Structure 1
Amino acid sequence: MRRMSLIAATGVAVAGLALSACGSNSMSNSSPGAGSTPAASGTSAGGGVDQALAAKVPAKLKSAGKIVVGTDPTYAPNEMLATDGKTVEGFDIDLFNAVAAKLGLKTEYVPAGFPTIILGVTSGKYDMGVSSFTINPDRKKQVNMVSYYKAGTLWVVAKGNPEKVNIDDVCGKSVGAQKGTVQADDLAARSKKCTDAGKPAITQVIQTGQDQVTADVASGKTVAMLADSPVGLYAIKQTGQLEPLGDIYDSAPYGYVVPKDQTDFANLLVEALKATKADGTYDAALKKYAVEKGAIDNFAVNP
């Protein structure tokens, strides 16, 4: 999936759809837009420190007292900016804050364009990435991925489906997705099928942020969009202008992005996730944003 965020406000104004998806500056539980300056350090919410787990934290992180996290805050309700325009929030954020708390660490979120986050992790710019990354073979070649949630792809159209969109035949139509996501790949593959069959290609409207993707379908620029299921459902709820089309498909786990040489740390995150599941903070983070359907309990490294 991504993944990715959605809309900040409901209503007709497309400008009001500014919020969300899977960047690049720093903050902590705050996340101004890409290119912004660091904010205060993040919280250590959750059920408290697990001393046994905290003792296993890598020396570099223990010394810093925090984890620097790359995230794309345009993917509501997973990762998004609060109404102050700088604080990063969402179910992904609440959950990872609880995970970090188990390790006795704070969090500092750095807003970034989704396609740049893995590079930021591999180059050392971020300690890790938390941004609704779907676990897939290509990503596992570059980094370790720690599973924590499961989502699929959902198509979204204007309420009433006025353009009579058929998922199995969108040749020649304008359809949106976010750059760097599995949905963009899905759309490209569908378009190739169209041209291979001698039909018009899909007009693929690929935007940098999910907020733009959502705004496009709400305004009629595109007839449909593809997004991760929690993101699509949130957009439908927030705008009141959209509805789902068809069923959720290609469900797969989201994963935290961890450097390839940090396997011990990745395994430690698995243990911290298990601890949040045991004390209820895992389920509380999902319930707060009504995304409980994607909960898992088989956390693992590179599943």
Structure 2
Amino acid sequence: MSKKLIAFSILAIFVMVVGLAGCGQQPAKPAEQPKPKALKVGSDTAFAPFEFQDEKTKEYVGFDMDLIKAIGKQMGVEVEVQGMGFDGLIPALEGGQIDATISAMTITPERAQKVNFSKPYYKSGLSMVVKADNNTLKSFKDLEGKRIAVQIGTTGADEAKKIKDAKIREFNTAPEAFIELKAGGVDAVVNDLPVNEYYIAQAGGKDAKIVGEPLTSEEYGIATAKKNTELADKINKALDELKKNGEYEKIYVKWFGKKPPQ
């Protein structure tokens, strides 16, 4: 055997040994765990104090926002909030664009025919707001024949339309309705009591006031697609747990300054 052949054989054996050693040193990569699917939530994000955009951070904040994030954490999923018009929420659920909606949505028989509602998470009612110097409108009865601003697609709009000879003006958001009142384009705004209270508080009571007794007693629910009963059950379970561990009460006190009714 020639020296060249011997050298080549030694080199081949060396390469083989190194190659085998290299294979033994490369541990198998662990399989990547699939990320949990994000919960896509639709909301009309102009309905303070339940959902609105923070002027500084541009993030969506409010009672509903804190609550749905806490529910998502309890379920072990990330929450992605998509802002959209209130009247487009249920169609978006039906079309599969979103998984759920939390938007101070009153549980009604008509809506329950189209979506699944969670257990009630907030008790509300409708009230009326008038300009601070208005001393003639004192109850819903006084709204007959008057100009009323409402938000489109809401129970406030539904109830206002029942008032005799009232001239109804529908707006896409609650702030637009309040602006119209301030400008004198309408005589009153009919909307959810906590939203009206928040508006009065932010305005310092200078521009408007709440008059009369609440017209209705309503309950808010988180809506999911009619066919998605599994998600509805998970949301209910998470909501129950938040009420048991005190997290729900913390969020309630943060936004309303008092404990939730028992």
Fold shared per TM-score above 0.5: yes
Aligned pairs for 1:146-185 within 5 A: 146=118, 147-185=120-158
Distance 2:85 2:57 in 1: 16
Aligned residues: 226
Which structure 2 residue ranges, 5 or more long, are not aligned?
A: 1-33
Deviation at 1:160, TM superposition (A): 3.8
Deviation at 1:254, TM superposition (A): 0.4
More helix by share: 2
The answer to whether structure 1 residue 278 and structure 2 residue 244 are counterparts is: yes
- Distance verdict in 2 for CA 1:246–1:164, change over 3 Å: closer
Aligned pairs for 1:106-121 within 5 A: 106-121=78-93
Q: Is the 8 A contact 2:129 2:189 kept in 1?
A: yes
Q: Is the 8 A contact 2:138 2:212 kept in 1?
A: no
Structure 1 ranges of 4+ moved more than 4 A: none
Deviation at 1:289, TM superposition (A): 1.1
The answer to whether structure 1 residue 245 and structure 2 residue 194 are counterparts is: no
Distance 2:83 2:54 in 1: 13
Structure showing greater Rg = 2
Q: Is the 8 A contact 2:130 2:137 kept in 1?
A: no
The residue that corresponds to 1:11 in the other structure is none
Deviation at 1:82, TM superposition (A): 0.6
The answer to whether structure 1 residue 67 and structure 2 residue 39 are counterparts is: yes
- Distance verdict in 2 for CA 1:266–1:142, change over 3 Å: same
Deviation at 1:213, TM superposition (A): 0.7
The residue that corresponds to 2:199 in the other structure is 235
Deviation at 1:120, TM superposition (A): 0.3
Distance 1:279 1:164 in 2: 44
* CA displacement, residues 67-126 of structure 1 (integer Å, 9 cap, x when unaligned): 111111110001111114731110011011111110111111101010001110111000
Q: Is the 8 A contact 1:230 1:291 kept in 2?
A: no
Q: Which moved more, 1:158-167 or 1:269-278?
A: 158-167
The answer to whether structure 1 residue 224 and structure 2 residue 188 are counterparts is: yes
TM-score (ref. length: structure 2): 0.81
- Identity rate of aligned residues, in percent? 29
Deviation at 1:288, TM superposition (A): 1.1
- Distance verdict in 2 for CA 1:112–1:291, change over 3 Å: farther
Counterpart residue identity of residue 167, structure 1: F
Q: State which of 98, 101, 104 in structure 2 corresponds to 1:129.
A: 101
Q: Is the 8 A contact 1:149 1:296 kept in 2?
A: no
- Distance verdict in 2 for CA 1:296–1:137, change over 3 Å: farther
Counterpart residue identity of residue 101, structure 1: K
The answer to whether structure 1 residue 100 and structure 2 residue 100 are counterparts is: no
The answer to whether structure 1 residue 208 and structure 2 residue 172 are counterparts is: yes
TM-score (ref. length: structure 1): 0.70
Q: Is the 8 A contact 1:178 1:184 kept in 2?
A: yes
The residue that corresponds to 1:290 in the other structure is 256
Structure with bigger RCO (C-alpha 8 Å, 6+ apart): 1
* CA displacement, residues 18-66 of structure 1 (integer Å, 9 cap, x when unaligned): xxxxxxxxxxxxxxxxxxxxxxxxxxxxxxxxxxxxxxxxxxxx85432
Deviation at 1:133, TM superposition (A): 0.7
Deviation at 1:264, TM superposition (A): 2.3
Q: Describe the SS at the equivalent of 1:216.
A: helix
Q: Is the 8 A contact 2:130 2:189 kept in 1?
A: yes
Q: Is the 8 A contact 2:87 2:153 kept in 1?
A: yes
Q: Is the 8 A contact 1:165 1:223 kept in 2?
A: no
Q: Is the 8 A contact 2:137 2:143 kept in 1?
A: no
Aligned pairs for 1:32-43 within 5 A: none
- Distance verdict in 2 for CA 1:166–1:152, change over 3 Å: closer
Deviation at 1:287, TM superposition (A): 1.0
Deviation at 1:249, TM superposition (A): 3.0
Q: Describe the SS at the equivalent of 1:248.
A: coil
Q: State which of 68, 89, 96 in structure 1 corresponds to 2:61.
A: 89
Which structure 1 residue ranges, 5 or more long, are not aligned?
A: 1-61, 195-200, 298-303
Counterpart residue identity of residue 172, structure 2: T
